[in-house]
Structure 1
Amino acid sequence: MPPRRFLAAALAVVAVTAGTTAAVAAPNPATPTTTLNPISSSFADTFADPSIIQGRDGYWYAYATSDPLVAGGPFGLMHMARTKDFGSWEYLGTVFTDATKPAWAAPGSFFWAPDIRYFGGRYVMYFTVTDTLANPGGDPAIGVATAPTPAGPWTATDAPVVAPKPDGNGGFFGTIDPAMLTAADGKRYLYTGGFYGGISVTELSPDGLHSVGTPTQVTVGDRYEGSYAVYRDGWYYLMGSSMNCCAGPTTGYSVFAGRSRSPRGPFVDATGASLNESRVGGTTVITQNGNKWIGPGHHAFITDAAGQDHIVYHAIDRGTPWLTDPFGINRRPMLIDRIDWIDGWPRTRAGLGPSDTRQPAPVTGSAAGIDSADPATGLWGATRQADDSLGGPAAAVRGIAATRQAAPGGSVRVEADVKLGSSFTTVLGGSVVATVSGSTIRVLAGSRTTSATLPADFDRNQWNKLSVQVLGNTVTVRVNDAGLGDLYAEAQLVVPGLKVRSAPVSWLGSAEVDNLTVRAVADPLRRPAAVPEAGMLLAGDEFDGPGLGAGWSWVRPDSKAVVADGKLSWPVQNTDLVGSGNNAGLLFHDTPAGDSWIAETKLHLDLGEGDVRNYQQAGMIAYLNDDDFARFGDVAIWKTRQTEFGRELVARASDGATSYGGAAIGRPAPTLWMRLAYHRNAAGEHVYRAGSSIDGKTWTWGASWVLPAGATPKLGIYAHGDQTGGTPPVATFDYLRFYESK
């Protein structure tokens, strides 16, 4: 239909609606539900590697890996729970039983990291099988199962969707942690892999049950696992979790992102660094912030009825890190927090990280007098469809329909599960018109129009998700599987000066509609959270004397560390500080008085690229003793180069056994500026946050570690970890400075 006739028809719908029903303002919503992490505490001690989806029945269903649900409990065969409002949860049992688990899994195999999707009229779950009958002993593969409802029953296929991958040395790569994405090219993709072998993406058959073609590696080995992918504003974002998921009280797991115009990559971070190179990139999505939560990661995304994105993930309470005895199973409950898109990148709470206070829950249900579970009751001109086995009553639109109450003006979002007829038009405020007709999505607002094309094999006879959103002057219409960051097609139109008035939402055409929500759009937060800033110089050493200046002291002096030409040069020692290897030299400087300051150094350390140099490193350290410290270094980890903020402490008092883990931060480089921002919290604990820079001007701030209250830790520098037996590289420090913290 030509744009002018199209608009005239749409406005006629609004006129008919206005003449038939009173356009009254939507009532004020009830008191918003809040969440308090961990959100799984009412039914589980641990609910790791969560994924989540909204079912056709309106419930949100969450799934987790096969750890014991509670302390002392048995291992499960993956877990299921559901909620309507994120304030209360119901545990539903396990995904599989011994009788229904995949027949090709070896006895004793674990089932990890479920990824839930909906397409083709059924629910599809991908998951890790840690061992198969083909090569018993450790050949991980990816399984897939389908179900008619999100609660099951689940039927596994008779073979892996991604088979084990031999490593050429008699073992197998880490084919783990699946994440599926339906992309704009009409194809389905599955991201799989982990620290051993990296993450790869493979195309799937249209039914999602078989891999086809040749996989493409999208991340370097040794850095990422727990992938998740979403599409937003023309970009595919690949996110992965980094470092150790399960080191008890020293877990530094964090999530990072890269983006690409293609679902196959290459994925690069905000600085332009690739996720698939030795000096590995990654823009921080979530990392620990110094409160009780550590190791946040292995996540999924959801978008609520107000268009607000949220991250669902697991984390560890540093005060109660174990589900069993130390060095056993980690206690990893499920958490949720808001995602803000800052300068095109997803940030948890604008960069604040995991929350430990009450937060607004995801917006569920509808305004404008709509009962999302029975939408026909709030619509004029729609027919109530009989309950089906999955979604309950739906609404059938045949011709003209509209909400009985007015939708909010300004920024507004309309979303629903739909079975589309040949043409279906949504009208917002009488000025925004969005039509899905044939294979085309068309948007018209004012005098402007745009369109997008659905894939050739798009099945309009199945339930899909349709969203029409106006945010400021931008109109976005998307058709996708289940609202999980995937898409079949999206049309986006920017209209300067766009004003959407409060009016009923109207529809023209034919469709079945369920889970209908009409909501004001969440006000997006676009400014990043504050980060540490350096103020006045307080103390330090520029290494411009014939030797070390005043205020320095050693633990295990190293005569090879020398001051010359305005630098301290220190060959990386064949020593270490982790575990029982407490033989590394450490050089400390007096710290300023007060409860907050920032320490900074400039480090030159050429660790090469692509070869194994375990674990050459240098950097800064906050130190109580050899078994209680936080170490921030530029480090070689197998074939990658990373900036790691590691933590060691005594995890078992009975025998002094230690635990070590680390968090990755920023982008490594042969010349790296490094900062540790210190403050003392309300409990008297010593909190250190690490930041790095590749130019000395723009800083990337990452994870925080907390050292116990009491004596103030020492602060200094180190150069150790060489295990190669060859000529060690030389770490060169330009200075160590202390600044006031603004």
Structure 2
Amino acid sequence: MSRLSTTRAIRPPGVLSGIGVLLLGLVASLLLQPGGGAVAQEPPAPARSGQAEQARQAGTGARSEPSGTYTNPVTEGTVDTFPDPVTIRGKDGLWYAYGTQNPVFRSKGEQGERIVPILRSADLVDWEYAGELFTPETQPAWHGGSRLWAPDIRYLNGRYTLYYSVPDRNTVGVATAPTPTGPWTDRGAVMKPQSGCPTGNIDQAQFTDRDGRSYLYWGSYDVLCVAGMNADSTRIEGRVTEVAQGRRAEGPYVVRRGPYYYLFYSDAGCCQGAYSGYQVKVGRSTSPTGPFEDDEGVDLMARTSKGGAVVAGSGNRWIGPGHNSVQTDLAGQDWLVYHGIPSDDPDLDPTPEINRKQLSRRPMLIDRLDWIDGWPVVRAGAGASDGRQAAPVTAWDAGGTFNDGSLSGWRRQGPERDGWSTAESRDTGTYVTHEGRGTDPAYLVTRRRTAAAAQRAEADLRVTADTGAAGLTVAYADPDNNVSAWLDRDRNALVTDVLRNGRNDERITPLPSAFRWDSWHNVAVELRGGELTAEVTSDRLYDAVATQHRELPAGAARPGKAGTAARGPGSAADNVGTVKLHTPVTGPVPEPGPGAGLPAYSDAFEGTVVPGTEPDSPWSWVRGPAPGTAMTGGALSWPAGDTGLWLDTNTAPVLTRDAPKGDFTVETRLHFAPERAGQKAGLVLYGNDDRYFSLTRSALPLERRGGALTLNTEFAKEGERPTTTPPTPVFYGETFGGPTADTMWLRLSYHADRADREDEVRASTSRDGEHWVEAGVWSLPVKGPLKMGLVTLDGPGATARFDYVRTYRD
């Protein structure tokens, strides 16, 4: 999310009109309607071939990758930055992305910002600019000129509904449109500033449950909340429930998978360039209102840092990955859509209009999202990708969008075969309808056969008559032998029907009572072996209103064709097709671990003399020894003092010793029960007071809880930040590891990245000494040797007990 104070979006003369022409004519002028809603003129139809090429030649189209691959960031060459991205597949068969208001065309000479910029893609890889939510002239007056952050897009009740944060009004706005690019009608504020959630009313995401009820999740710094919404999902109503809290927690996004609701969120700092500790974490619940727990079984409302890491900094090009949404490709593979900060170019140049704070460069990334043992993780735990990857599947093996206006490539089948025709709308383009009056099914199937053993098929369906059904058909041999998933209006249900030799075997799953039959709904069917899964959503965003699983009878999953089906009048279908079903990744990448022990660089603290106080000790003190430090019971006892090791406050004693040459891991077991904000104790890899890495158990205040404490495992670095304007010589950045306990095991693993001349440090934490939680990777340019050390600081009243220091070769 963005942290910049209010700034109007300003464009130099001539820039808007020139870009508007070259960018497909989609940034139409907007008009204010009576009643306060801002409405844009209807944009032209989505760009095709020549227009898209014209946009690329004008510098607004993305670079192309070799077929079937992509390289992050996917927005490179299209926009300079695209924070807080969210995506949707439009009913025209294209994907659309929406981002926080930012100066997205700085490299093209534009000084101002685009107010919620919109991108469009045919494949989730190559993107082109498609417009913005508002212009400076048409932004609703009730915003007070606020910048707009963190959009969320949904297809609800037959229209696109876009939620956006209005930070200067401490609320969330909502706008609706008939197409993914507008024209947008502003519907006002979703909540009052006094919403009932003790947080900033930003970073919202909508979710629809099985019963059709709508929810809104939101929150930032440091509490996340949820509330129900009214029938048209434009206002929250009823009880506001807190579902998570943590140091700088924000950006909630919910999906339902199987029996669980998964709450994704980001914590630590989003927007500090190379010092951004942002990461995505997740908890799950059996209820949309919680309680949510992480993969360690810790309640997300507990005042501790959490596990459940989905993606964190991994030491490659990408820093501070976060603020995610989830998208599914045609093969059923999930993708995390998020932003990251490039380490080689982390900051945007300041402009006269945007001068209150340095903006971080945050382009859009996508990466494969795997579900391992019931938990989502990016690339099986490998983290954000910075090399060429296999691309999402975005083209059918068989099927199509009907946008050529014909039924060529399709076969009409069944007694009512003559009822098929094409129609058009500004949202979908061309689609097919069936107006047969009989009760027998009619089929429109691909000419090409597909293997049924492992496939995923989809169709956008609706029924506009008072009776009848629209269906998706797979494993089609003939009208008497096929498998279909029906939206059956007569029974208000999702019905799967297996036809064998004319005999049917049905299963019925009710749809919500308020199901909108005249609205498009996506029906997806997956066949894997002899199992069928069918689900109904509005927008393919993991919020199915009906899901059905069933075993298929022997022989039913035969090779066949795919297509759409109709029974009775008023059936319509679009975006019909099938592809080979993805093969899920079910195991994690190997977790890094220490190698052989290095006794010469280890210490069991079994002596009676405080380390660093004898002439031959391998330890030495910076500003020490610390007052009150003693050897007691085979451990180093060290009371916290009123000292600091943060920016200009460099008063804390630090106990250090030389580190081994090469890569290594240093570990300690720490008992520490802090009682006041700022108290910390743990490991440090120390160059000097302004250049170090630390991993501590810390007591930190929650900003929205009046300073109430949360106990975190805090992984931090301090060092030079030369790219800021004006220059900031030293900066402190932090990220957070797993849950804490009074007794913790802490590890810092050092790697010399010789290719990039960086010191790279990975942190991990444990509450039992056996199961470790990764806490990400920090790096700094090589400036000299680092020493291993211990530190206790920031406030008296607690005593740290270090049982040992053990060092291992990596």
TM-score by length of 1: 0.88
- The 1:559/1:721 distance shift into structure 2, 3 A limit, reads closer
Question: 1:643 and 2:713 equivalent?
Answer: yes
The 5 Å alignment of 1:214-253 reads 214-220=239-245, 222-253=247-278
| C-alpha displacement of 1:125 | 0.4
The 5 Å alignment of 1:318-337 reads 318-325=343-350, 328-337=358-367
Match of 1:7 in 2: none
Q: Is the 8 A contact 2:472 2:563 kept in 1?
A: yes
For 1:346 and 1:498, locate their aligned partners in 2 and report how far apart those are by CA, in whole Å. 34
Match of 1:365 in 2: 395
Match of 1:625 in 2: 688
Aligned mate of 1:733, from 792, 797, 802: 802
Q: Is the 8 A contact 1:370 1:379 kept in 2?
A: no
Match of 2:368 in 1: 338
Task: Return the letter of the residue paired with 1:679.
Answer: H
Match of 1:174 in 2: 200
Q: Is the 8 A contact 1:635 1:643 kept in 2?
A: yes
- The 1:388/1:622 distance shift into structure 2, 3 A limit, reads same
Stretch moving more, 173-182 or 371-380: 371-380
Match of 1:64 in 2: 99
For 2:214 and 2:130, locate their aligned partners in 1 and report how far apart those are by CA, in whole Å. 29
The 5 Å alignment of 1:257-336 reads 257-325=282-350, 328-336=358-366
- The 1:217/1:378 distance shift into structure 2, 3 A limit, reads farther
Stretch moving more, 58-67 or 218-227: 218-227
**2:430 is paired with a residue of what secondary structure?**
coil
Stretch moving more, 374-383 or 325-334: 374-383
Task: Return the letter of the residue paired with 1:392.
Answer: G
Task: Return the letter of the residue paired with 2:538.
Answer: D
Q: Is the 8 A contact 1:32 1:360 kept in 2?
A: no
**RMSD of Structure 2 on Structure 1 (CA):** 2.5
Match of 1:161 in 2: 190
- The 1:280/1:456 distance shift into structure 2, 3 A limit, reads farther
Stretch moving more, 659-668 or 546-555: 546-555
Q: Is the 8 A contact 2:659 2:786 kept in 1?
A: no
Q: Is the 8 A contact 2:562 2:577 kept in 1?
A: no
Match of 2:535 in 1: 478
Match of 1:26 in 2: none
Question: 1:88 and 2:126 equivalent?
Answer: yes
Aligned mate of 1:53, from 76, 81, 88: 88
Match of 1:518 in 2: 578
**1:505 is paired with a residue of what secondary structure?**
strand
Q: Is the 8 A contact 1:631 1:646 kept in 2?
A: yes
| C-alpha displacement of 1:49 | 0.8
Q: Is the 8 A contact 2:627 2:639 kept in 1?
A: no
Question: 1:588 and 2:656 equivalent?
Answer: yes
Q: Is the 8 A contact 2:399 2:563 kept in 1?
A: no
Task: Return the letter of the residue paired with 1:319.
Answer: D
For 2:266 and 2:459, locate their aligned partners in 1 and report how far apart those are by CA, in whole Å. 31
Match of 1:428 in 2: 474
Residue-by-residue CA offset, 1:617-652 (whole Å, 9 max, x unaligned): 111112222222221111112122211211221213
For 2:332 and 2:140, locate their aligned partners in 1 and report how far apart those are by CA, in whole Å. 37
| C-alpha displacement of 1:675 | 1.1
- The 1:258/1:167 distance shift into structure 2, 3 A limit, reads closer
| C-alpha displacement of 1:498 | 8.8
For 1:393 and 1:488, locate their aligned partners in 2 and report how far apart those are by CA, in whole Å. 26
| C-alpha displacement of 1:710 | 5.0
The 5 Å alignment of 1:560-579 reads 560-579=628-647
**1:536 is paired with a residue of what secondary structure?**
coil
Task: Return the letter of the residue paired with 1:233.
Answer: G
Match of 2:454 in 1: 411
- The 1:484/1:279 distance shift into structure 2, 3 A limit, reads same
| C-alpha displacement of 1:492 | 2.0
- The 1:591/1:450 distance shift into structure 2, 3 A limit, reads farther
For 1:179 and 1:563, locate their aligned partners in 2 and report how far apart those are by CA, in whole Å. 53
For 1:570 and 1:431, locate their aligned partners in 2 and report how far apart those are by CA, in whole Å. 74
Identity between Structure 1 and Structure 2 (%): 37
| C-alpha displacement of 1:732 | 1.2
For 1:730 and 1:442, locate their aligned partners in 2 and report how far apart those are by CA, in whole Å. 64
Residue-by-residue CA offset, 1:127-152 (whole Å, 9 max, x unaligned): 100123xxxxxxx1000001111111
Q: Is the 8 A contact 1:249 1:659 kept in 2?
A: no
Q: Is the 8 A contact 1:58 1:373 kept in 2?
A: no
**2:425 is paired with a residue of what secondary structure?**
coil
Q: Is the 8 A contact 2:402 2:432 kept in 1?
A: no
**1:394 is paired with a residue of what secondary structure?**
strand
- The 1:694/1:387 distance shift into structure 2, 3 A limit, reads same
- The 1:498/1:630 distance shift into structure 2, 3 A limit, reads farther
Match of 1:721 in 2: 794
Q: Is the 8 A contact 2:459 2:472 kept in 1?
A: no
Match of 1:665 in 2: 737
Q: Is the 8 A contact 2:470 2:572 kept in 1?
A: no
Match of 1:601 in 2: 668
Q: Is the 8 A contact 1:373 1:514 kept in 2?
A: no
Task: Return the letter of the residue paired with 1:122.
Answer: R
Which structure has more relative contact order (CA 8 Å, sep 6+)? It is 1
Q: Is the 8 A contact 1:686 1:706 kept in 2?
A: yes
Question: 1:44 and 2:113 equivalent?
Answer: no
Task: Return the letter of the residue paired with 2:291.
Answer: P
**1:534 is paired with a residue of what secondary structure?**
coil
The 5 Å alignment of 1:26-41 reads 32-41=67-76
| C-alpha displacement of 1:615 | 1.5
Residue-by-residue CA offset, 1:225-257 (whole Å, 9 max, x unaligned): 011111111211011110110112110100100
Aligned mate of 2:604, from 524, 533, 542: 542
Task: Return the letter of the residue paired with 2:220.
Answer: G
For 1:660 and 1:104, locate their aligned partners in 2 and report how far apart those are by CA, in whole Å. 37
For 1:299 and 1:321, locate their aligned partners in 2 and report how far apart those are by CA, in whole Å. 19
For 2:528 and 2:621, locate their aligned partners in 1 and report how far apart those are by CA, in whole Å. 58
| C-alpha displacement of 1:165 | 2.1
Q: Is the 8 A contact 2:758 2:779 kept in 1?
A: yes
Q: Is the 8 A contact 1:51 1:64 kept in 2?
A: yes
Gaps of 5+ in 2: 1-64, 437-441, 476-480, 612-616, 702-708
Stretch moving more, 514-523 or 397-406: 397-406
Aligned mate of 1:700, from 750, 773, 795: 773
Match of 1:21 in 2: none
| C-alpha displacement of 1:703 | 0.7
- The 1:538/1:604 distance shift into structure 2, 3 A limit, reads same
| C-alpha displacement of 1:193 | 0.9
Match of 1:27 in 2: none
Q: Is the 8 A contact 1:100 1:155 kept in 2?
A: no
Question: 1:194 and 2:220 equivalent?
Answer: yes
Q: Is the 8 A contact 1:628 1:648 kept in 2?
A: yes
| C-alpha displacement of 1:452 | 2.8
Alignment coverage as a number of residue pairs:
690
Task: Return the letter of the residue paired with 1:296.
Answer: P
Match of 2:762 in 1: 689
**2:380 is paired with a residue of what secondary structure?**
helix
Q: Is the 8 A contact 1:253 1:297 kept in 2?
A: yes
Aligned mate of 2:492, from 414, 435, 439: 439
For 2:456 and 2:647, locate their aligned partners in 1 and report how far apart those are by CA, in whole Å. 54
Q: Is the 8 A contact 2:305 2:737 kept in 1?
A: no
For 1:713 and 1:471, locate their aligned partners in 2 and report how far apart those are by CA, in whole Å. 53
Match of 1:149 in 2: 179
Match of 1:391 in 2: 428
Q: Is the 8 A contact 2:205 2:252 kept in 1?
A: yes
Match of 2:411 in 1: 380
| C-alpha displacement of 1:522 | 1.3
| C-alpha displacement of 1:705 | 0.7
Gaps of 5+ in 1: 1-29, 133-139
Question: 1:119 and 2:156 equivalent?
Answer: yes
Residue-by-residue CA offset, 1:170-201 (whole Å, 9 max, x unaligned): xx8411111000111210100011114x1110
Stretch moving more, 703-712 or 547-556: 547-556
